[in-house]
Every structure is written in structure tokens, then in C-alpha cells.
Structure 1
Amino acid sequence: MHIVSYSEARSHLKEVMDRTAADADVTIITRRGSANAVLLSQEHYNSLMETVHLLRSPANAAHLAQSIAQDQAGSREPHRLADA
């Protein structure tokens, strides 16, 4: 995570954006007397939105949690992919 002031972000916006995208990380932009903001790459944003979408349904979230637990326990079952 990178932290920059509003003034630094404004003065070096291209560099801040390039670093944020290249590092696949977030940059916190601090502002004196106002709420901070967060800059993240579109790839990172899309990933977060996909996670939110997958976990929105309680049934899907439970299924994913069960699948993760099975994977961590080493109990995997092979499945065949449907022919296209």
C-alpha cells in the first residue's frame, strides 16, 4: 500500500497511477481536513467487484466456503469438463 498526500498525487498523477497499476496495489491519497481517498487499478477494482458478486448470495458464499475448506483439507474430487 502506498500513501501520498493530495498535493503529491496532483503534482505526480501519472507516476502515482502508473505505480498503482504496476504494483497491483492501492494508493491512499491523504487530505488535510477532509476524508482520504483510495486509488486502485481497474484490474484490482474488477477483482473486488467479482468477489462481492460471488459472495452476495448466501448460498453461493456457503458453497465457496465449503469448497475452500475441502481444498485445504486435501479432499478433492476430479471432475470431467463437459464437451463443448
Structure 2
Amino acid sequence: MHIVSYSEARSHLKEVMDRTAADADVTIITRRGSANAVLLSQEHYDSLMETVHLLRSPANAAHLAQSIAQDQAGSREPHRLADA
């Protein structure tokens, strides 16, 4: 995560955007007296939106929670992926 001031972001917008996109990271842009803003790469944003979409379904959220619990308990079983 990178943090830059509004003035720095404005002066070096291309570089800030390039770094954010290349790192698939988050850049926080701070502003004095106003709320901060967050700059995300398209890849990062798409990933977050997909996660939000999947977790909106109570069934998906419950399945994920169950899978995490099984993994933490060490009771996972390997599965063979189907050939495409």
C-alpha cells in the first residue's frame, strides 16, 4: 500500500497510476480537511467486486466458511481437477 498526498498525486498522476497498476496494489491519496481517496488497479477492483458478488449469496458464504474451517482443522481432502 502506498500513501501519497493529493498534491503529489496530481503532480505525478501517471507515475502514481502506473505504480498502482503494476503492483496490483492500493494507493491512498490523502487530503487535508477532506476525506481520503483510494486508487486501485483494475485487476484489484475486479477481484474485490467478484468477492463481494460471491459473498452476497448466503449459500456461497456458508460454503466458504465451512471450507476455511475444514482447512484450519486439517481435515481437507485433495481433489483431482477435471481435465479441460
TM-score under structure 2 length normalisation: 0.85
Give SS of 1:3's match. Answer: strand
Q: Which has the higher mean CA deviation after the structures are superposed, 20-29 or 71-80? A: 71-80
Q: Which runs of 4+ in 1 moved over 2 A?
A: 71-84
Root mean square deviation, CA, Å? 1.7
Q: How far off its partner does 1:75 sit?
A: 2.5
Separation in structure 1 between the aligned mates of residue 4 and residue 83 of structure 2, nearest angstrom: 51
Q: Deviations over 1:33-65 (max 9, x none)?
A: 211100010000011001101111122101111
Cα deviation for residue 72 of structure 1 reads 2.9
Query: Per-residue deviation at 1:77?
Result: 3.6
Q: Give the deviation of 1:74 after TM superposition.
A: 3.0
| Percent of pairs with identical residues | 99
Query: Which deviates more from structure 2 when the two are superposed, residues 6-15 or residues 73-82?
Result: 73-82
- The alignment status of 1:25 with 2:25, answered yes or no, reads yes
* SS of equivalent residue, structure 2 residue 28: strand
Supply the distance in 1 between the matched residues of 2:2 and 2:80 (Cα, whole angstroms): 44
When structure 1 is superposed on structure 2, of 53-62 and 64-73 the one drifting more is: 64-73
User: How much does 1:80 deviate?
Assistant: 5.8
Shift, 1:71, TM fit? 2.5
**Aligned residue runs from structure 1 range 1-84, under 5 A:** 1-79=1-79
Alpha-carbon distance in 2 for matches of 1:38, 1:68: 29
TM-score normalised by structure 1 residue count = 0.85
* CA distance in 1 between partners of 2:75 and 2:27 (Å): 39
Aligned length: 84
